[in-house]
Amino acid sequence: MKHTVLHLDNEATTWENATPVGCGKLGAMLYGGVEREIIQLNEEKIWAERTNRIDPTEFCARLDTIRKLLHQGKNADAPAKELLAPYFGGVGSYETAGELHLDIFHSENAPTTDYRRDIDLTDGVASVAYTRGEVHHTRTAFASYPQQMLAYRLSADQHGAISLRAHYERQSEITVTAQGDTMTVQGKTACSKHTFTLKLRFVADGGTLTTDGKTMTITAADSVCIYVTAATDTEPPTPDAWSFDALLAEHIADFSPFMRRAGICYQSETDIDALPVPARLARLREGHDDPGLINLYFHFGRYLLLSSSRGSSLPANLQGVWNGDIHAPWGSDYHTNVNLQMNYWHAEVANLPECALPLFHYMNDYLLAPGQTVARDFYHCRGTVVHHLSDIYGFAAPADGLWGLWQLGGAWLCYAMWEHYLFSPDEDFLRRVAYPYIRECTRFFLDFMVEDESGTLTTGPSTSPENTYFVTEDGVRTAAHLCLSPTMDVAVVRGLLQMYIACEDVLGADAAQRREAAAALSKMPGYQIGARGQLMEWQQDYDEPEPGHRHISHAFPLYPGREINRDTPDLMNALRVTLRERLSHGGGHTGWSCAWLINLYARLYQGDDAADMIAKLFKNSTLDNLFDTHPPFQIDGNFGAAAAMAEMLLQSHTDTVDLLPALPSALAYQNGSFYGLRARGGITVDAAWRDGRVISCTLRAERDTVVKLRVGKKIIRVELAADEAKNLDFGK
Ligand code: FUC
Does position 435 have pLDDT exceeding 90, yes or no? yes
The residue-averaged pLDDT of 720-731 equals 94
Give me the residues paired with residue 535 across strands: 529
Q: What was the pLDDT predicted at 107?
A: 85
CA distance 232 to 248: 26
Confidence check: pLDDT of 721 > 70: yes
Give distance in angstroms: CA of 341 to centre of ligand 1: 12
> Hey, whose CA ends up nearest to atom 11 of ligand 1?
335
Q: Looking at this protein, which amino acid is placed at residue 491?
A: A
Taking only Cα atoms into account, the Rg of the chain, rounded to an integer number of angstroms, comes to 26
Mean pLDDT of 414-433: 98
The confidence score (pLDDT) of residue 540 equals 97
pLDDT at 240: 87
Strands (E), 422-484: 450-451, 457-458, 469-473, 476-480
Instruction: Please tell me the predicted confidence (pLDDT) of residue 295.
Output: 98
CB within 8 A of 40, min separation 6: which ones?
15, 18, 28, 29, 30, 31, 96, 98, 99, 322, 324
Q: In this predicted model, what pLDDT tens digit does every residue of 122-138 receive, in sequence order? A: 999 999 999 999 999 99
Q: What single-letter DSSP state applies at residue 302?
A: H
Rounded Cα distance, 421 and 434, in Å: 8
pTM flag (> 0.95): yes
Q: Ligand 1 centre from 541 Cα, in Å?
A: 25
pLDDT of residue 731: 82
User: Do the Cβ atoms of 139 and 156 come closer than 8 Å?
Assistant: no
Label residues 539-564 b or e (16+ Cβ within 10 Å = b): beebebebeebbbbbbbbbbbbbbbb
**By the 8 A CB rule, do 651 and 601 touch?**
no
d(CA 236, CA 307): 20
Å from CA of 26 to ligand 1 middle = 24
For ligand 1, mutation pick of 91, 93, 317, 339 (most atoms within 8 Å of CB): 339
CA 291 to ligand 1 center in whole angstroms = 29
pLDDT of residue 732: 66
Half-sphere exposure of 173 (CA within 13 A, CB side): 4
- Ligand 1 pocket test: pick from 463, 628, 630 the residue with the most ligand atoms within 8 Å of its Cβ: 630
User: pLDDT at residue 591 above 70?
Assistant: yes
HEC readout, 644-657:
HHHHCCEECCCCCE
pLDDT of residue 192: 92
**What's the average model confidence in pLDDT over 46-69?**
94
Region 264-270: mean pLDDT is: 96
With 80 as the cut, is the pLDDT of residue 241 above it? no
User: Is there a contact between 381 and 375 (Cβ–Cβ < 8 Å)?
Assistant: yes
- By most ligand atoms within 8 Å of CB, the mutation choice from 330, 391, 412 for ligand 1 is 330
Residue 366 pLDDT level (bands cut at 50, 70, 90): very high
Residue type, 471: V
**369 CA from centroid of ligand 1 (Å):** 25
User: Tens of pLDDT along 453-480?
Assistant: 999 999 999 999 999 999 998 899 999 9
207: left (phi over 0), alpha (psi -120 to 50) or beta: left
Alpha helices, H only, 424-532: 427-429, 435-448, 487-507, 511-522
Cα distances from 165 to residues 150, 204, 212, 216, 227, in angstroms, run: 19, 12, 11, 6, 16
Nearest ligand 1 atom to alpha carbon 403: 7
* CA atoms 226, 231, 234, 237: torsion sign: negative
User: Which of the 8 DSSP states describes residue 434?
Assistant: I
pLDDT on residue 212: 98
Whose CA is closest to atom 8 on ligand 1?
466
pLDDT digits (tens, 9 = 90+) for 613-624: 999 999 999 999
Please state whether 392 falls in left (phi above 0), alpha (psi between -120 and 50) or beta. alpha
Q: Tell me, what DSSP letter sits at residue 669?
A: G
d(CA 251, CA 247): 6
Q: Is the dihedral of CA 452, 458, 463, 467 positive or negative?
A: negative
Residues within a 6 A CB radius of ligand 1: 318, 330, 335, 337, 339, 466, 550-551, 590, 592, 630, 634
pLDDT recorded at residue 1: 54
Which atom of ligand 1 lies at the shortest distance from residue 634's CA?
10
In the predicted structure, residue 53 carries a pLDDT above the cut 90: no
Provide CB contacts within 8 A for 630, sequence distance 6+. Answer: 329, 590, 591, 592, 621, 637
Sign of CA dihedral 605, 590, 310, 117: positive
Q: Which residues pair with 525 in a beta bridge?
A: none
Name the residue of 335, 590, 633 whose CB sits within 8 Å of the most ligand 1 atoms, as the mutation to test its pocket: 335
pLDDT of residue 386: 98
DSSP conformation class of 404: G
